[in-house]
Amino acid sequence: MNISLKQLSILESIVEHQSYTAASKALFMTQPAISMQVKKLEAEVGLPLFERDGKYIVPTQAGEELLFYAQSIRQQLEEAAEVIEELKGLKRGKLHLTMASTANYFAPQLIAAFKHKYPKAEITLDVTNRSGLVEAVENNHTDMAIMGKPPSGHHLKGIPFMDNPLVVIAAPTHPLVHQQPILLADLADEPFIVRESASGTRMATERFFNQHGLELIAGMEMNRSEAIKQAVMAELGLGIVSLHTIEMELTLKRLVVLEVEDFPIKRQWHIVYREGKRFAAIPEAFKSFVLEQAESLLHIPDY
């Protein structure tokens, strides 16, 4: 197909603004010029790219497909421009990092240390759930992600850089706090405050219980580790969280880690990116920095 970058830019703008008029203003073009380019693009593709939905212009299935490639091409061109600028001797660059909400308890320390070494690096940080992480990396909407082990079948590469132990937490007043040892069977009737079903922590916990012939009783479901901690402190049940998330609560003695057989559940944090992705200098430097420095810069809380 003979499609220009200008036409792809017009396509993106129309989808963003849901209007030919708004897109023309954003691109400093006339509306007839926008309409003409869309007609040429549709003629080249051989399918309609837009349709009207009430007062809005929305992409057809063909438009959605072409939009995906337009965004990918723009991302690659931006990466190429950044590489070229760095080759000219500019000591700066951009990093788009996406992470699991749990990683937000330690990742700012890594970013601060990296910024000390590369003060002109421009860093954009997004925090989302596991499905959002996979989508962002797979669709090239981010340079890399900090998350647990990535799922198979998504063309993602994950490199472990630090342990992420999952532990059982309880309020200091919980009866099990004074029971030693605590067998897994002792947890069989205990209600747990759990993460949402798509969470890596939830899946790892359910897999662990199934392997030991037990069923995890989900008393309440939360979409953030912070909410689980608050619920456990309110004596609504037990929780299973990353040890990285409870350092302050352990210090203040608001939570207790229970010594349960076969715990902690052993997991690892990974740097995750799309297979075959070519990094610009700053993202490459951050990846190397994390893999080399994370374990020395961060520590796992004692309990």
Neighbours of 120 (CB within 10 A): 10
Q: What is the mean pLDDT of residues 193-220?
A: 89
- 271-292 burial, b at 16+ Cβ within 10 Å, e below that, comes to bbbbeebebbbbbbbbbebbee
More confident of the two residues 209 and 297: 209
Q: What is the DSSP secondary structure assignment for residue 194, as one 8-state letter? A: E
Q: What is the three-class DSSP state of 204?
A: helix
86 pLDDT tier (thresholds 50, 70, 90): low
**Above 80 in pLDDT, residue 85?**
no
161 pLDDT tier (thresholds 50, 70, 90): very high
Provide the pLDDT for residue 91: 62
Q: What is the mean pLDDT of residues 48-75?
A: 91
Residue 136: which of 144, 147, 146 has the closest Cα? 144
137 pLDDT tier (thresholds 50, 70, 90): very high
Residue 167: which of 233, 256, 295 has the closest Cα? 256
Q: What is the pLDDT of residues 20-40, one digit of tens each?
A: 999 999 988 898 899 999 999
- Domains of the chain, each with CATH number or no CATH: 5-70 (1.10.10.10), 91-163+268-297 (3.40.190.10), 166-257 (3.40.190.10)
51 pLDDT tier (thresholds 50, 70, 90): very high
R_g (Cα) of the chain, nearest Å: 24
Q: Pairing mode, if any, of strands 218-222 and 166-170? A: unpaired
DSSP letters for 171-238 = -TT-GGGG-SSB-GGGGTT--EEEE-TT-HHHHHHHHHHHHTT----EEEEESSHHHHHHHHHTTS-E
Residue 222: which of 209, 213, 207, 232 has the closest Cα? 232
Provide the pLDDT for residue 134: 92
